Chains A and B, each alone.
Chain A
Amino acid sequence: MNIKILGSGCANCTKLYTLTEAVIAELGITSELEKITDIPGIMAYGVMSTPALVINEKVKACGRLPGKAEIKQYILEET
């Protein structure tokens, strides 16, 4: 699995990264977790508001900070 956090370094982007990291650890799955901080990289997903959560190249949430339960659900959807 490949998970990406899109965001140019705002506070919420960092929070989303930490939350997702924790969920991955809780679920005990193996996944790549990447930070995409450059504008062209973020916009390549059609996203204009950050932070955004991308799992296996699908935009799951953008412009908001999803909670842990929600992130867990998105990850399970893709496994």
Chain B
Amino acid sequence: MALLWEVWQWLNGELLQMKWLFNLVKLLVESVWGLPISEGVGGSIHFFIYDSLKIFLLLGVLIYGISYLQSYFPPERTKKILGKFQGVTGNLMGALLGTVTPFCSCSSIPLFIGFTEAGLPLGVTFSFLISSPLVDLAAFLVLLSVFGFKIAFAYVVVGIILAVGGGWLINRLRLEKYVEEYVWQMKIPASNLPELSRRARLAYAWGQVREIVGRVWLYILVGVGIGAVIHNWIPRELIERVIGVNNPWAVILATLVGIPMYADIFGTIPVAEALFAKGVGVGTVLALMMAVTALSLPALILLRKVIKPQLLGVFMGVVAGGIIFIGYLFNALAVVFK
């Protein structure tokens, strides 16, 4: 057992946290450029180079593997699987499949129409729509690398709970009348999609790596840049006063700031990492990450085309309320994450 633990520690340190990269960049910054990383300038440069390289490396490898897996769960198949479940199990399956079905906000309209037309309860569709941007296999592994197992695991569990709970509540509220009429009138034939060859799956995975890295690289660099500034220049006392554990408004503030921001989860992680290191509560950090990823303006604008403002409002309220609740819960349980 002790040996296994050591092997895990080594794998975690070298592969996920990339200590070798940390040391390599340290060597570059300290020995080549002569800037000690314990000081502001050297520390910022080190954080920026190490963190962006680490996230890009992890992202490339992870998206390749995960996209291959995702090619087995196109939304057309997910729709069929979800039709077999009733009640809360349906919400749970919706939330779980939301994590493995490839999805971008640009396909949320056909997806919403397809699910609704297939007779899936509104709440199941919302469980899917909440978990899909929020809980992501790649995000889980990056969190694992940056924050360690406990927080990564906690993030996934609360993300799923939020998706299941939110969907369940939307079901109970009987909001079907707030879906645009034309959605109900659509008639969609059963899809008969060809099975993919292994080669097509690998090509798909590679295409996803190029597309996702192409889409998020700027968010990552901006996120790491902000993280580097927080990490080395903003005094700990200031951050603690504004969103520290002793400010009872911290979680609400983090959520409200996060919602209008449109960034990818990967751009949010370095900011969260730097805030966490400066003593911000784990619940506050999770609330910020969830608010940035779960609700974004472009996705809401697209959703408005299939649902009426009342339902859109309920959706936003449920998600924001859930995030705030989770934030306070985790801050209260913070001892577990020390």
Q: Give residues in A with beta carbon < 8 Å to B.
A: 8, 10, 12, 39-40, 42-50, 59-67, 70
- List 9 additional contacts besides A43-B186, A65-B207; criterion CB under 8 Å: A42-B110, A45-B189, A46-B76, A46-B190, A46-B191, A48-B114, A63-B107, A64-B203, A66-B200
* Residue B39 at the chain A interface, CB threshold 8 Å: no
Tell me whether A39 and B113 are in contact (CB under 8 A). Answer: yes
Q: Which of B109, B111, B189, B203 has a CB less than 8 Å from the CB of A44?
A: B189
Q: Which of B71, B76, B211 has a CB less than 8 Å from the CB of A48?
A: B76
Tell me whether B188 and A44 are in contact (CB under 8 A). Answer: yes
Tell me whether A40 and B203 are in contact (CB under 8 A). Answer: no
- A44 to chain B: which residues have CB within 8 Å? 188-189
- B211 to chain A: which residues have CB within 8 Å? 12
| Complex alpha-carbon distance, A45 and B194, angstroms | 13
Main secondary structure, interface of A, reads: loop
| Complex alpha-carbon distance, A79 and B200, angstroms | 22
Q: If A59-B192, A60-B194, A66-B200 touch, does A48 touch B111 (CB 8 Å cutoff)?
A: yes
Q: Which residue of B lies closest to A66 (CB)?
A: B200
| Complex alpha-carbon distance, A61 and B71, angstroms | 12
- B98 to chain A: which residues have CB within 8 Å? none
- B194 to chain A: which residues have CB within 8 Å? 59-61
* Residue B85 at the chain A interface, CB threshold 8 Å: no
* Residue B327 at the chain A interface, CB threshold 8 Å: no
Give, as a whole number of angstroms, the nearest-CB distance from B199 to chain A: 9
Tell me whether B74 and A49 are in contact (CB under 8 A). Answer: yes
Give, as a whole number of angstroms, the nearest-CB distance from A14 to chain B: 13
| Complex alpha-carbon distance, A62 and B192, angstroms | 11
Would you give the 0/1 interface string for B179-216, flagging 1 where the beta carbon is closer than 8 Å to chain A?
A: 00000001011111110000010011001000100000
* Residue B11 at the chain A interface, CB threshold 8 Å: no
* Residue B28 at the chain A interface, CB threshold 8 Å: no
Q: Which of A10, A47, A60, A61 has a CB less than 8 Å from the CB of B76?
A: A47
Q: Residue among A42, A48, A61, A67 with the most chain B CB within 10 A?
A: A48
| Complex alpha-carbon distance, A34 and B100, angstroms | 32
* Residue B283 at the chain A interface, CB threshold 8 Å: no
Tell me whether B188 and A63 are in contact (CB under 8 A). Answer: no
